[in-house]
Amino acid sequence: MKTPIDLPADSSIRRILVLKWSAMGDVVISSALFEDIRRAFPAATLDLHTLPPWAGLFRHDPRFAEVCTIDVRRKQGGLRGLLAWLRFVRSRRYDLIVDLQSNDRSRSLMTLLKLTGAAPRHLMGNHRRFPYTLAPEPAAGVIHAFDLQQETLRVGGIPTVTPRPVLYPGPEHLAHAQELQRQFGLEADNYAVLLPGSQAAGRLKRWGWERYAALAGLLHQRGLAKVVLLGGPDEIEECARIADRCGSDWLVNLCGQTQILELVPLCAGARLIVANDTGTAHVASATPTPMVVICGPTDPLRVKPVGENVVALQTTGLACINCYCKAPCEHHSCMVRITPEMVLARLPEGLIAGRS
């Protein structure tokens, strides 16, 4: 029988590098694993390598001594980025590298470290391929990225106990969120947050402004004092349409007025959250607030934000479900079939008054 590996018991592991790139939602999901690694190695120096767009997520993060944002993507960083990354890693002399990305690009970087004699003794990855020394057994069937990354850590004896993303808003984020709550009368547990958008390239993942406007009206009718719209630049038009349709001061449109980490305190104060499959939903899942995520062309088994407080809603009986299509769709049935009443029915019992 193979002897279990217990990396946290190895006192020689003093410097650790964690890799995670990809989209914002994927990086946010992995922040739960960052927490597990930090807890398992409380005395070690822990660094993170992520992509430049996500550096702000970790600017105030006490878990990391250094956040490296050298761009190693082929088009953006090219050979210069690759060489800079190699110099960075070689100079730090890591004892353990945890590659939570484990795609062809990150694997090629790990291989270069191995072939040049600069790799640490332990290279953890999500897949059993060269040059990783620790990786989980291949998964059978569809598996969520969070579950796969948890399995990766457990192979090295790292306990996985963190149930949801862990993010650290800075003092300026907390202060601005508190000011918005004061300015618009957002009393704790007496408002809902809606995340009705998605990036421009993923418009088919949007449930639709008309349906979000109808849902907002129902939530207000059933006792919530305020309904808040949050989102980024790609979602300003969508949120403006919702606000125009509702046409009342109980609808607070904050789209484009917040930084990404300000969503954490704003969502933490809400009674409930309803969102599309979008990166901001993953940020919102860093709070224990009950959330319904509406999935259309994407598979909730793969994309649902993590946490027991999060539930997914997807229609059934469509041959084209989980198509992941980005081209225009004539019928958009996966979203049209979902009604505001169906969303309300997915909320926890008793969360809002008069729920049927």
Cβ(136)–Cβ(151) below 8 Å: yes
Let me know whether 37 and 179 are in one domain. no
Kindly state the tokens that stand for 152.
């990766």
In a domain, 261, yes or no: yes
In a domain, 289, yes or no: yes
Let me know whether 268 and 320 are in one domain. yes
Let me know whether 187 and 138 are in one domain. no
What pLDDT is attached to residue 292? Answer: 98
Let me know whether 36 and 115 are in one domain. yes
What pLDDT is attached to residue 355? Answer: 46
DSSP assignment of 52-69: GGGGGGGTT-TT-SEEE-
In a domain, 166, yes or no: no
Let me know whether 132 and 267 are in one domain. no
Q: What is the pLDDT along the chain (356 residues), one digit of tens a residue?
A: 355 799 999 999 999 999 999 899 999 999 999 999 999 999 999 999 999 999 999 999 999 999 999 999 877 778 899 999 999 999 999 999 999 998 999 999 999 999 999 999 999 999 999 999 999 998 888 899 999 999 999 999 999 999 999 999 999 999 999 999 999 999 999 999 999 999 877 889 999 999 999 999 999 999 999 999 999 999 999 999 999 999 999 999 999 999 999 999 999 999 999 999 999 999 999 999 999 999 999 999 999 999 999 999 999 989 899 898 887 888 899 999 999 999 999 999 889 875 44
**What Å distances lie between residue 258 and 174, 175, 254, 289, CA to CA?**
11, 12, 7, 19
CA distance 303 to 282: 9
Domain end marker among 155, 183, 215 = 155
CA distance 51 to 104: 16
In a domain, 337, yes or no: yes
Angle at 225 between CA 219 and CA 230, to 5 degrees: 70
Let me know whether 51 and 105 are in one domain. yes
Domain end marker among 130, 155, 180 = 155
- Intra-chain end-to-end CA distance of the chain, in Å: 55
For the beta carbon of residue 52, count every other beta carbon within 10 angstroms: 12
Beta bridge partners of residue 310, listed in sequence order: 291
CA distance 86 to 91: 8
Q: How many domains does the chain have?
A: 2
Domain end marker among 104, 125, 155 = 155
Let me know whether 116 and 16 are in one domain. yes
Let me know whether 143 and 179 are in one domain. no
Let me know whether 84 and 179 are in one domain. no
In a domain, 29, yes or no: yes
> Which CATH number fits the domain that encloses residue 142?
3.40.50.2000
In a domain, 50, yes or no: yes
Let me know whether 177 and 264 are in one domain. yes
Let me know whether 246 and 138 are in one domain. no
Kindly state the tokens that stand for 168.
């650290």
Let me know whether 141 and 177 are in one domain. no
CA distance 66 to 45: 9
Burial of 23: CB neighbours in 10 Å, binned 0-12, 13-18, 19+: middle
For the chain, where are the alpha helices, taking DSSP H only? Answer: 24-40, 78-92, 104-115, 145-155, 171-183, 209-221, 236-246, 263-268, 279-284, 300-303, 333-336, 340-345
What pLDDT is attached to residue 1? Answer: 38
The DSSP 8-state label assigned to residue 289 in this structure reads S
The backbone torsions φ and ψ at residue 195, rounded to the nearest 5 degrees and listed phi first, read -115, 85
In a domain, 164, yes or no: no
Domain hosting residue 82, numbered range: 7-155
pTM of the model: 0.95
Secondary structure of the chain: what % helix, strand, coil (to 5)? Answer: 40, 15, 45
In a domain, 354, yes or no: no
**What Å distances lie between residue 252 and 58, 135, 189, 275, 302, CA to CA?**
28, 47, 15, 16, 31
